[in-house]
Chain A
Amino acid sequence: MYKKPLVSISHVNVDRAGIRVLENISLDIYKGDFLGIVGPNGSGKTTLLKTMLGLLPIASGSLSLFGKNVKRFRDWKKIGYVPQKPGAVLMSTPITVWEMVSLGLLHNKRFFDFERAKDTAAITNALEAVGMEPLKDRLMHQLSGGQQQRVFIARALVSNPELLILDEPTVGVDSDSQSKFYDLLRKLNKEMDLTLVLISHDIDVVSHEVSVVACINKTIISHGTPKSVLKGEVLKEMYGDQVTRITHNH
């Protein structure tokens, strides 16, 4: 059966300050996918993500979200976004876990952002899904990096999205917390049928966790299952001759 993609990117070029940073990108993301976008620093991963979210303009090509041109797309509650770990602002702001997650419900409120009973239930459900409900009254800066990322996922989940996009979510998170974090992502993908897009520079992690990989270095170099994509010649094209992938079983 033909499935319509949730995200459809076709021959997209993106320029920044007169320089072409993404070239001829074509990529479809389907419901249930767990897509990893990998590439070296400066390869355009975050630019691709921001373009996908309509935060950066396209020079040419087309991009649609849930069948609608990105410029006309307004149904933002269908998309959850987990940014790279915010640093200084979070460390000096006394904001609680509950307050942080409640911000994810603003897309459907024009004025008066008061919490209603259904909002309270949605926030509780999102916190329970990521195992942070017992810490709901803690201040964000009292949490570990891994716990903070769980809160950001809860904020993204609270609007009940169909697509969750994560930008390098485990930077600065210790390896034990990373492992629990990827367990949570697998659960969201398999049990809640959530489509995930994960941006990472860590090929090894991505190759173990995701179902589809797109390798990017200004353009899409390779796209498919981790096994079919992460081959020597692809890695060489992305990272140069000096890279060797060492696999090991834990």
Chain B
Amino acid sequence: MIEIFQYDFMIRAFVAGIVMAIIAPLIGSFLVVRRFSLIADTLSHIALAGVAIGFILGTQPLVTTIVATTIAALLIEQLRRHQSIPADSILAMLLPGGLSLAIVLMSLTNGFNANLFSYLFGSITTVQPNEIALIVGLGVTTVAIVSLLYKKLVYAAIDEESALVSGIPVSTINIILIVLTAITVSLSMRVIGILLVGALMVIPVVTAMQVAKSFFQSVIFSVTFALFAVTSGLFIAYYFNLPAGGAIVLFSLAVFSGIFLVSRNR
């Protein structure tokens, strides 16, 4: 066996990383088409507040984070539907709002600051067995829901009005997508970090769109690119003692740069 897989914490890191590499671009594909990519960054800042709440309550931070991001995601969707505030302004307001709440809550806790870096930039090698169960369980659920509703998610993303006239329950589809986004952001937190989570949802998708010959192909390519970036990033991080989150994002950007240059020069 390769040395890296002799350690349980690295096996857990690879399992968590692979689950995230599948679901982050899967959800990101629909967000990028909607031009709503920044929601991942907004929710990730709210996730930090969720972590702080978890520390204050003395419970599993991942659970309180999922609750906090889901509530925020539903609020964003509600405001977006009313159309009285532009979608990008909603995100621009809630992003610092989430961060501010997190800062205030953090000041109330002792000892949280020491863990702050692991949430901001990820700490994949410290993922615990109970967290793995939650990540895998919710990851499988996310893949199943997207498979069931794939075409409805596509239709609602590219042409909401026509989808409505076709009798598709667009409001329900939008709520499902945004809740899945909140869950994905929360799960990504340990793998890649709050400040970097948006990258895994967006960069592989944009990379895939440069070369895909269909929407389905772009989804498959984006997951493939994310898997490559996550596994390569983990190997490099282990052998060169680098932060895994940063290595994964830099690999994603390297793949994007290579494919962008090749596709433009064809």
Contact = CB atoms under 8 A, between A and B. Distances in A.
B80 interface: no
A222 to B, nearest CB: 28
B216 interface: yes
B214 A106 contact: no
B167 A107 contact: yes
A104 interface: yes
A55 B165 contact: yes
A83 B215 contact: no
A105 B135 CA distance: 34
A81 interface: yes
Contacts of A81: 161-162, 165-166
B218 A76 contact: no
Interface stretch (A22-30, A34-42, A84-92, A210-218): A84-92
A89 B33 contact: yes
A103 B154 contact: yes
Given A83-B159, A95-B158, A103-B155, A76 B215 contact: no
Contacts of B159: 83, 86, 89, 103
A155 B155 CA distance: 11
Nearest to B158: A89
B149 interface: yes
Given A90-B158, A111-B149, A99 B165 contact: no
Interface in B33-50: 33-35
B218 A94 contact: yes
A79 interface: yes
A113 B213 CA distance: 20
Nearest to A111: B148
A110 to B, nearest CB: 9
Contact of B168 (A53, A55, A98, A106): A106
B165 A89 contact: no
B141 interface: no
B28 to A, nearest CB: 13
A60 B161 CA distance: 23
B209 interface: yes
B92 interface: no
B167 A74 contact: yes
A55 B160 CA distance: 11
B171 to A, nearest CB: 12
A82 to B, nearest CB: 8
Of A74, A88, A111, most B-chain CB atoms within 10 Å = A111
B217 interface: yes
Given A94-B214, A112-B148, A137-B213, 6 more contacts: A77-B167, A86-B159, A92-B33, A93-B158, A103-B162, A106-B168
15 contacts: A76-B167, A89-B33, A92-B33, A95-B158, A98-B214, A99-B214, A99-B215, A106-B151, A106-B152, A109-B151, A112-B147, A113-B149, A113-B150, A137-B214, A155-B162
Interface of A: 53, 55, 74, 76-77, 79, 81, 83, 86, 88-90, 92-96, 98-99, 102-104, 106-107, 109, 111-113, 137, 139, 155, 159
Closest 10 CB pairs of A and B: A76-B167, A113-B151, A81-B165, A107-B167, A94-B212, A95-B215, A111-B148, A103-B155, A96-B214, A107-B166
